[in-house]
């Protein structure tokens, strides 16, 4: 997470409870470069490298804690404070994306969308109303052609993808998600 990761952990906990009848014994967060365009500008260069290095160290600490049988309740505070507000209207957020002239109509944004929310029509992406605001489409094109039209907008905000994750990885993952949803 780039800022607040608690809500995702609550969701995960709920899914495990529903499917397995048990809950997480503990939950941990790892601070990564923030890439939610409405809240942060992705860090670059040295700062980005430091965050990724610290994240690797944190993973070592988490592995040790798990090995030591660490348990910890998941905080409910951040969920109570932020989640309801965030999720209201999130699916309609897709309608707030647009493209600039730099768009080549390559279709990558549609391929990386885990929600199947983008169609390519006349060589341009068209967003529907089942967006999860994951921002994969926004970050997947180096030409920065996709913009999110909220508040001050996102022109010049930069883009971020983890250096070990390729666009092909994102396309594969999104394809699996779409298959799972269709099933």
User: With binding defined as CB under 6 A, does residue 147 bind ligand SF4?
Assistant: no
Listed ranges 22-30, 46-54, 114-122, 175-183: which one lies at the site for ligand SF4 (CB under 6 A) = 114-122
User: With binding defined as CB under 6 A, does residue 118 bind ligand SF4?
Assistant: yes
User: With binding defined as CB under 6 A, does residue 145 bind ligand SF4?
Assistant: no
| Closer residue to ligand SF4 in complex, CB, 9/118 | 118
- 72 neighbors 42 (Cβ within 8 angstroms): no
- 146 neighbors 108 (Cβ within 8 angstroms): no
3-state secondary structure of 151: coil
Count residues binding ligand SF4 (CB under 6 A).
Answer: 15
User: With binding defined as CB under 6 A, does residue 136 bind ligand SF4?
Assistant: yes
* Interacting residues of 65 by C-beta distance below 8 A, sequence separation 6+: 26, 28
Interaction residues for ligand SF4, span 52-111 (CB under 6 A)? 94
Comparing CA positions, the residue from 141, 135, 144, 146 lying closest to residue 97 is: 146
User: With binding defined as CB under 6 A, does residue 170 bind ligand SF4?
Assistant: no
Structure tokens at 6: 């608690």
DSSP run (H or E) holding 98: strand 97-99
User: With binding defined as CB under 6 A, does residue 132 bind ligand SF4?
Assistant: yes
Q: Beta partners for 120?
A: 125
Q: Which residues bind ligand SF4 (CB under 6 A)?
A: 94, 112-115, 117-118, 127, 131-137
């Amino acid at each position: 997470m780039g800022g607040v990761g608690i809500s995702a952990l609550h969701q995960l906990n709920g899914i495990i409870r529903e499917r397995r009848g048990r809950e997480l014994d503990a939950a941990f967060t790892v601070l990564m470069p923030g890439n939610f365009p409405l809240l942060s500008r992705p860090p670059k260069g040295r700062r980005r490298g430091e965050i990724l290095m610290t994240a690797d160290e944190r993973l070592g600490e988490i592995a040790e804690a798990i090995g030591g049988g660490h348990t910890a309740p998941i905080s409910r505070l951040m969920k109570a404070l932020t989640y309801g507000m965030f999720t209201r209207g999130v699916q309609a957020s897709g309608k707030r994306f647009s493209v600039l002239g730099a768009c080549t109509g390559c279709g990558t944004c549609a391929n990386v969308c885990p929600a199947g929310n983008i169609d390519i029509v006349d060589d341009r992406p068209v967003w529907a109303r089942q967006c999860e605001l994951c921002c994969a489409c926004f970050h997947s094109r180096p030409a920065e052609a996709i913009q999110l039209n909220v508040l001050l907008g996102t022109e010049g905000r930069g883009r971020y993808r983890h250096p070990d994750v390729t666009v092909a990885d994102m396309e594969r993952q999104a394809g699996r998600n779409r298959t799972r949803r269709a099933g």
